[in-house]
Amino acid sequence: MIKVNLLATQPGAAPAREWLPRDQRSALLGLAILMATAFGVGGWWYYLHHQSNVVDTRIAAAEGELQRLKDAAKLVDLMTARKDELAERLSLIERLRAAKRAPVALLETVSRSLPEGLWLTELKQSGATVQIDGRATSLTSVTDFTERLQSSGYFQRPVEILTTSTEAIDDTNVVKFSVKADVLAIQPPAGTAAAPTSTATVAGLVPAHPGV
């Protein structure tokens, strides 16, 4: 005997329709995975591109800072060279001033060292060596003169008497002498020329002397 359930379906009702057929579900899933992958790759590329721009910006800033530091270093080098040049010029000026003061100081020292009864006829300087020629009324005046030169602090010790001799001037016997002395701390700086030889007749250092 065959039984039929007539309550399962209503007479004349259409079967339920599926929103997505089963045979298209796999394709749609694959498409969704593909699109997700594409979005992921695109997002990753955008991130890397952004990071690359950030790195490029930092590199450009660093290069600009490096160039600024290089320019500052060049300026420092220029200022240092300028400072050294000015220091050398100032040193040269001081050496020139010292060279100009040296003859004046020499004459002043010799003039202050003159005793009574002694006068000079010639003063010659070659480098640091000074030779002084003159006349004196006695040998004691010549000795006093050399001792004063030694005590002045301008000349090295000892001040040497090169020659002494007696000669007559207007029927008066006088001592003709020649003295050599070496100046202290007047040697020319390294790399500069030595002081030239100079000769001067010392007319202004002739005191009054009896019998002449």
Q: Do the Cβ atoms of 107 and 205 come closer than 8 Å? A: yes
Q: What is the pLDDT of residue 141?
A: 94
Cα–Cα nearest to 120, from 149, 99, 98:
149
172-182 and 160-169 strand pairing: antiparallel
Per-residue model confidence as pLDDT tens digits over 34-91: 888 888 888 888 888 888 888 888 898 998 888 888 888 988 888 888 888 888 888 8
Q: Please give the class, per CATH, of domain 113-205.
A: alpha beta
Q: What is the pLDDT of residue 4?
A: 54
Q: Which helix (H) or strand (E) holds 100?
A: helix 22-112
Q: What is the mean pLDDT of residues 160-187?
A: 87
Does the pLDDT at position 210 exceed 50?
Answer: no
Each domain of the chain, given as residue ranges in start order, spans 23-103, 113-205
Per-residue model confidence as pLDDT tens digits over 131-145: 999 999 999 999 999
* Model confidence, pTM: 0.48
Amino acid symbol at 30: G
